[in-house]
């Protein structure tokens, strides 16, 4: 049998521990499938004495992940620490410089530094694999780079943050508001240390930027992703959407347009009977559309020890088998800097606002919409209290630019109680 592939694992949290368990428990299976043993030489983490439920006594310990990355008995550096900069980036750069291949689950690091890291790795003849960085156990990176390599990708779309999907679906199922479900998600350990990474759409935006690079041959450009979180979604919005046959999802969409690459992560209305509309709980779903396959829907767990460790090991196994591929599916030197297009694709929008109970208030809003070139498909006024009247408007297809112009004008009116909320109705 061929010599073993030796791993150095930096980060022994949920995912790192899961990788260690797979290597220990599935040794014979991995060796049979890879044609060589998969072993662990050394590990690194912030706390050495923590009980992680798996024995680490067979492995060398390095307090410094950079030292781990440089070890002579490590062939593949497995980076599972997280963070866009700091130790994760320094250790990854050190591994590449030392002639190691890299497997990482670090979406933030690649979203911010992917182009530079990919260029360095490819110049050194090394590979960076990152299946675990996007959608947990769903093999979407492999699907885009390999299975759909003969397709011109037209659109990438999906629910890529399980925490947000959990909150939104629980709002519908339980009748509880956003704040209550946010607290529930926090108690269950679903939220990042900085919750805004989840509910603000940042975590999912990192993932979308990585998939966009593969799908459209562009340099990773997270700064070009238009981000909007779920914090303003109310129980009323959930119910209004359901009345119209829709569900609200934090939806990522990337597509190439005549004006450039459009990338957005925002709450949208999707048909309730569509695969995305039926997605419940913390599950992820990615929809890929290509000119040859039309549409592929991939659904699965987006986080957790087993699914994410499984994705890491898939990358390790490819390296063990000798399969080598450019980081983003084609050489980093060939990736172009794409022009940014901000929501140029027209779509209908759901608008919710609360108007002061004054004569002519609704007419003023309708006038502003008309002046922006936006026509109203349907409108509903709900039962109001003594001073305000909730109003729901669904527009015909319009551009985001036109909508933003209208919203700016509406916000200047003296008939508004609070800022209006506008959500795109997405075709899926």
Catalytic residues: 207
Contact predicate 132/207, CB 8 Å = no
Task: Please choose, from the candidates 254, 208, 247, the residue with its C-alpha nearest in 3D space to the C-alpha of residue 350.
Answer: 247
Provide the CB-side half-sphere exposure for 56 (13 A, CA).
Answer: 24
Closest CA to 210 of 93, 315, 117: 117
Q: What domains are defined for the chain?
A: 5-104 (3.40.50.720), 140-302+334-341 (3.30.360.10), 349-425 (3.30.70.260)
- Which has the closest alpha carbon to 108: 128, 84, 90? 84
pLDDT at 342: 79
Give the global pTM: 0.93
Backbone angles phi, psi at 185, to 5 degrees: -60, -35
Mean pLDDT, each 10-residue run in order, the chain (428 residues): 94 95 97 97 93 92 97 98 94 98 97 97 97 94 96 96 94 93 87 88 97 97 95 93 94 93 96 95 95 95 90 97 95 93 86 86 91 92 74 93 93 86 92
**Segment 158-177, tens digit of pLDDT:** 999 999 999 999 999 999 99
Specify the pLDDT at position 175. 93
pLDDT value of residue 349? 96
Q: What is the pLDDT of residue 169?
A: 95
- Quote the pLDDT of residue 1: 67
Q: What is the pLDDT of residue 345?
A: 83
pLDDT of residue 385: 66
| Predicted pLDDT at 384 | 66
């Amino acid at each position: 049998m061929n010599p073993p592939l030796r791993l150095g694992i930096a980060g022994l949290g949920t995912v790192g521990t899961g990788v260690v368990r797979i290597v220990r428990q599935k040794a014979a299976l991995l060796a049979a499938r890879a044609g060589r043993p998969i072993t662990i030489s050394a590990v690194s983490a912030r706390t050495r004495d923590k009980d992680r439920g798996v024995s680490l006594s067979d492995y060398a310990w390095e307090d410094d992940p950079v030292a781990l990355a440089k070890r002579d008995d490590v062939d593949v550096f497995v980076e599972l620490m997280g963070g866009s900069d700091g130790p994760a980036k320094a250790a990854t750069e050190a591994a590449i410089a030392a002639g190691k291949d890299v497997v990482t689950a670090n979406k933030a690091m690649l979203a911010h530094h992917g182009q530079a890291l990919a260029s360095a790795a490819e110049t050194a003849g090394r590979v960076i694999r990152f299946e675990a960085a996007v959608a947990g156990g769903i093999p979407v990176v492999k699907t885009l780079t390999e299975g759909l390599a003969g397709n011109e990708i037209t659109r990438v779309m999906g629910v890529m943050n399980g925490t947000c999907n959990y909150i939104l679906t629980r709002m519908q199922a339980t009748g509880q508001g956003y704040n209550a479900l946010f607290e529930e998600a926090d108690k269950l350990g679903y939220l990042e240390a900085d919750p805004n990474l989840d509910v603000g759409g940042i975590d999912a935006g990192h993932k979308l930027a990585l998939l966009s690079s593969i799908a459209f041959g562009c340099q990773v450009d997270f700064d070009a992703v238009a981000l909007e979180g779920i914090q303003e979604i109310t129980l009323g919005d959930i119910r209004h959407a359901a009345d119209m046959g829709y569900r609200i999802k934090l939806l990522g969409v990337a597509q190439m347009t005549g004006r450039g690459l459009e990338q957005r992560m925002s709450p949208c209305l999707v048909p309730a009977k569509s695969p995305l509309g039926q997605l419940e709980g913390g599950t992820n779903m990615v929809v890929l559309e290509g000119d040859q396959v039309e549409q592929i829907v991939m659904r699965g767990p987006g986080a957790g020890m087993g699914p994410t460790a499984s994705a890491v090991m898939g990358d390790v196994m490819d390296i063990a088998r000798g399969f080598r591929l450019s980081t983003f599916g084609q050489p980093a030197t060939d990736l172009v800097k794409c022009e940014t297009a901000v929501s140029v694709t027209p779509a209908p929008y759901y608008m919710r606002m609360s108007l002061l109970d004054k004569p002519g208030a609704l007419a003023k809003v309708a006038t502003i919409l008309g002046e922006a070139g936006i026509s109203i498909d349907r409108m509903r006024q709900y039962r109001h209290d003594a001073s305000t009247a909730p109003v729901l408007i669904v527009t015909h297809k319009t551009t985001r630019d036109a909508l933003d112009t209208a919203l700016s004008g509406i916000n200047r009116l003296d008939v508004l109680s609070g800022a209006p909320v506008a959500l795109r109705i997405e075709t899926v």
